[in-house]
Every structure is written in structure tokens, then in C-alpha cells.
Amino acid sequence: MTDFAISWQLSRGRFVDSVSGLTNEQLNYRLHSDTLTIGEMALHVAGTELWFLSQLTKRENDAYETKLIKAATDSVVNDLPFPYSAEEVNDATVKEAMEYVGKLVQPHIESPSEEFLTTEIKSVLGPIITGQGALARFAFHSGYHQGQVHMIKTAPGYPA
């Protein structure tokens, strides 16, 4: 198992724990107009992992995956609306996305091939990175958002 996998499992596990079992109101609470909701963050994390993985493995994406990949960028780094409506953002959707993508990522992060590590892809923010750079981002990305989830959950006005 790689160091990337160890860090990814820890930070992603904590992130999943922090977003699991929340009500629709909690998942869709928006701290202010320029932030993602907790539910949108979860779909963004899964979408980012899937987008990177799809590029690295030259994976063809179905309609479900294509919509999830849009959560990596839409309303995050561009002005397009988030691809999921508030009605679609619920505990079941979040759980399914995180589990689905986690199962796809796991074998590649635990034992990446040399080709996987050296393949160049476009990151969410735009720069060209290698598969090794993608795995480094996987290892901290969910932890970054887990901190944001904590801030939202402890903010005045967050639904009980």
C-alpha cells in the first residue's frame, strides 16, 4: 500500500464520517452565497476523484459519471450552476457517490502502475499534473473539505 493510500483512507474516511447521516436541510445549508454546501462538497470530492481517474485510465464515462464529474468544476472554479439540485443532494446520493468512486480509486491509489503515475492530466484548477500529482491531491483533498464541513456545522444558524 502506498503512502498516498494511507493518507487518502484516513482523510477520506474522516470526511465521509463528517457528511454521513445528515438531513437534507443540513446537507443543503449554505453558509453564504460563495460557498458550497456540505452535500455539494461531498459530490465535488467524488467528482474530482472520478475526473482525475477517468483521465488517468482513459475511462469512458456514462451519464451518471459525467454528471458527477461536473461537480468537480461547476460552481467551484467556473460560473456554471452546480450540476445537482438541492432536491438531489441527500444522504443517499452523497453515500452512493462516495462509495462508488472510492471503489474505483482504491486499487489505483494502493498500487499505481508506473504509467498511471507518469501520465499527464489537467487538474481541476487547470494546471497539467501527473498521476503522482493526482494521488497527492487525493490524499489531502477530502481532508481540506472536512475542515470546511466542521466550520459549517459549527456556524451560527446551522440546522440542528
Q: Whole-prediction pTM value? A: 0.97
Going by the DSSP 8-state scheme, the letter that residue 36 receives in this structure is: -
CATH number of 3-153: 1.20.120.450
In 3D space, the residue among 2, 34, 30 whose CA is nearest the CA of residue 109 turns out to be 2
- Residues in the chain, total: 160
CA–CA dist 39, 63 (Å, integer): 20
Q: How do residues 106-145 score in pLDDT, each as one tens digit?
A: 999 999 999 999 999 999 999 999 999 999 999 999 999 9
Residue 27 near residue 155 (C-beta atoms within 8 A): no
